[in-house]
A and B are shown apart, each in its own frame.
Chain A
Amino acid sequence: MKRHLLEAADLDRADATLVLDTAAQIDAALAGREVKKLPTLRGRTVVNLFYEDSTRTRISFELAAKRLSADVINFSAKGSSVSKGESLKDTALTLEAMGSDAIVVRHSASGAPHRLANWVRGSVVNAGDGTHEHPTQALLDAYTIRHRLGRLEGVRVAVVGDVLHSRVARSNVRLLHTLGAEVTLVAPPTLLPVGVGSWPAEVSYDLDAVLPKADVVMMLRVQAERMNASYFPSAREYSRRYGLDAHRMGALGDDAIVMHPGPMNRGMEIAAEVADSVRSTIVEQVGNGVSVRMAVLYLLLGGRAGE
């Protein structure tokens, strides 16, 4: 494992598998236990540095760190020196001086975790940067797929929605490819980046053509504001062409699952009856997020031989 987890490409197949296996072992070790706490990272300090509001991701990382007995500091941009104009670098050096061992960073600017990694000695974990990546989300998605379907090799995953602005899509394309899955991106051409042709994924504009062959359908959040920038004509048209409703769900194979990284726009990209169906892994994904993040923190912070 590298010292930081900045993007899915930081993980080769062996590393990614190690994270998933470790998460599974942690899950098994904690299953049914009264004491859901391990002493592993006692005395280590994990800082959650969140420049964007994301309660669910922050709580997930916080729980993961606390279950490993790390000390957790939540450093939110709002109401802190950050909002008073302190630079990312100065914040990084401050946290460094306070002895943080890992910084979990969420930032609206793509590449901010890469910058941070240049300025601190500890590990940096990307918890979502701009429209770049969100590697732990991809890890928990891969974990969920493997758990549900028993494998990743050859699994056909359709990623549907606003790929252009999605860090979840970028991380998933890279990680799922690394792990042997076959990804198809489905979106209107306006919501696919120029250059998507160089990604290790197929591209389709036609959701109905893709669904029957998919083992996994991963719906991405689509923000209605995109409509104002002419990415699509109306929410209704988007939903009609790219939304997953009960009728479309009927085209899926028997064992196919439906995923969503959350938060959902029910009625926009996903219908309520789909989100609440037995195919849906949406709640499961949240729980798996904690195990996967525990595995990541353990593997990054546990220490390296000879250090």
Chain B
Amino acid sequence: MARTTEHAHGDAASPSAVLSAADVTRVVDRMAHQLIEKCAGDDGRADVVLVGIPTRGAPLARRLAARVEAFSGFPVDVGTVDITLYRDDLRMRGVRALEETVLPEGGIDGRLVVLVDDVLYSGRSVRAALDALRDLGRPRAVQLAVLVDRGHRELPIRADYVGKNLPTSRSQSVRVRLAEVDGEDAVLVTGGEQ
């Protein structure tokens, strides 16, 4: 059943869809190709662990893994890392329920980890995820894949794979909606001047 669209910042300005469901599928496919191109060895196998950052990074990582697998023919390890206990903005944003941290058997030591998130904004979530990874093992290298990069970084962090660059103002809100969580795929922008 399709859910009606809800916005945390619901105001008079109606949200405009910058990516449709079809766009999201296309963008994820492109990211999967880029990932194979950059990471795969001679046999075409991408020896990476895709680690999603909950909430929406987790299903996104699973989708990305499924596409990489489909395109390369080799399975890809997937995990999630909950960053709640590593955030530096608890005081401002309040506590929330924790989500799962699941790593593939064998862990991440010596592996190439690709963190996956829906939106890259200040970079603080990614920093928290890096801190969490450090406590979980010692990857060979860590890369970052995001569906949307909306700019306004507050830390020296950049993504290795970007689905869509989306210049925004700080007053705007970018909402990624995924079928697994929200019942539909879309990327919406609300508020501010578009």
Contacts and interface: CB of A to CB of B under 8 A. Distances in A.
Interface in B86-138: 86-87, 90-95, 97-101, 131, 135-136
B82 interface: yes
Contact of A306 (B84, B90, B94, B136): B94
A303 B91 contact: yes
A297 to B, nearest CB: 11
A97 interface: no
Nearest to B93: A305
Given A28-B100, A28-B101, A303 B135 contact: no
Contacts of B85: 26, 29, 38-40, 68, 298
Contact of B94 (A28, A39, A40, A303): A303
Main secondary structure, interface of A, reads loop
Nearest to A22: B98
Listed residue (B84, B85, B98) with the most chain A CB atoms within 10 angstroms of its CB: B85
Contacts of B97: 18, 21-22
A25 interface: yes
Interface residues of B, number: 19
- Number of contact residues on A: which range applies? 20 to 34
A255 interface: no
Nearest to B95: A302
Interface string A29-48: 10001010111100000000
Contacts of A33: 135-136
A103 B98 CA distance: 24
Contact of A40 (B86, B92, B101): B86
A214 B1 CA distance: 43
B106 to A, nearest CB: 12
Contacts of B87: 40
Contact of A303 (B86, B93, B98, B131): B93
A299 interface: yes
A25 B99 contact: yes
Given A18-B97, A298-B85, A299-B95, 13 more contacts: A25-B99, A25-B100, A26-B85, A38-B85, A38-B86, A40-B84, A40-B85, A68-B85, A303-B92, A304-B94, A304-B95, A305-B94, A306-B94
Interface of A: 1, 18, 21-22, 25-26, 28-29, 33, 35, 37-40, 68, 298-299, 302-307
Can you list the 9 inter-chain pairs with the closest CB atoms, starting with the nearest? A305-B94, A302-B95, A25-B98, A303-B91, A40-B85, A302-B90, A38-B85, A35-B135, A303-B90
14 contacts: A18-B97, A22-B98, A25-B82, A28-B100, A29-B85, A29-B98, A35-B135, A38-B86, A39-B86, A303-B90, A303-B92, A303-B94, A303-B95, A307-B91
